[in-house]
Amino acid sequence: PARDERAAPARPVAAPVARPPLGLIDLLLRDRAAVRAQIRAEVDLAGVLRTMIGTIAVAMAIVGAALGSYRGGAQIAYAAIKLPIVLLGTAALSAPALSTCGAALGRPVRLAADLALVMTGLALGALVLVACTPLVLVGRALALGYHDMILATVAMFAGAGVAALVMIGRGLDGGVPGARAALAGLCVVSALVGGQLAWALRPYLVRPRAVEVPFVRDLEGSLLDAVPEALRSANGIYRRDAAPLPGEATP
């Protein structure tokens, strides 16, 4: 049969190569499959890690400063310091869980590549949060209520978490036994580790009427203990003996 002259030639697949930091960030935004291919081929993993750690640190500092601006003052610097610590600490403690769970289920152990993949996913999530930062500033300008701002912040972080999870999930080879189970284990460990670490370094979003803003609050139980209390506060039910208003005497 005659060759169809209109048929487009197949697009050649470029071999993974090392890229400069800005080029790698640009590729993460435009062609995430190429970034995953580079990590899967274990090409310049040290460079990938350096770039993604720097991206997370800068991006989360911007997000933290935006959240801290709701209260203003020292809280801007406090939140800008703490949020990068939370995300980087979560990645450092969770990435080994991905390799460990995968190894137990028959997946090859690739600790450096798994760490690079987790960092890359979190860097993408951090960039998504930076893109949502103007919404925080709009809410502050509109004097959005404290609990409404918290809900908006949770929605932003949930969206960024989904983006990071999709990036990591697609980076795992689905044909290898244990890949999906390893991803599930990573989700559980990240939720527990990240949630408790974020709880230990709170506050990030502080009521504007707060007189003093501590760098961290005293540990009052765990994150699981705080969930029922937060639900009661969102419904207008407060325990004044535990959280008196400014100037209000404590019984």
Residue 16 confidence class, pLDDT cut points 50, 70, 90: confident
Nearest Cα to 67, choosing from 51, 84, 52? 84
Give the number of other CB atoms < 10 A from CB of residue 78. Answer: 22
Distance CA 122, CA 179 (A): 19
Residue 23 confidence class, pLDDT cut points 50, 70, 90: very high
Give the number of other CB atoms < 10 A from CB of residue 71. Answer: 22
Distance CA 51, CA 120 (A): 9
Residue 236's pLDDT is 62
Average pLDDT, integer, range 113-130: 94
Tell me the average pLDDT of the chain: 81
Q: Are 193 and 107 in contact (CB under 8 A)?
A: no
Residues in contact with 18: Cβ distance below 8 Å, sequence separation at least 6, in sequence order: 43, 44, 47
pLDDT at residue 115 greater than cutoff 70 = yes
Nearest Cα to 64, choosing from 79, 51, 53, 78? 79
**pLDDT: is 224 or 30 the higher one?**
30
181-240 pLDDT, tens digit per residue, is 777 888 888 888 888 888 888 888 888 777 788 888 776 655 555 556 655 665 666 565
Backbone angles phi, psi at 215, to 5 degrees: -65, -45
pLDDT at residue 251 greater than cutoff 70 = no
Residue 133's pLDDT is 93
Q: What share of the chain is helix, strand, coil (3-state, %, to 5)?
A: 65, 0, 35
**Which H helix or E strand runs over 95?**
helix 74-104
Tell me the pTM: 0.80
Q: Are 96 and 57 in contact (CB under 8 A)?
A: no
Residue 172's pLDDT is 80
49-97 pLDDT, tens digit per residue, is 999 999 999 999 999 999 999 988 899 999 999 999 999 999 888 888 8
**pLDDT: is 161 or 208 the higher one?**
161
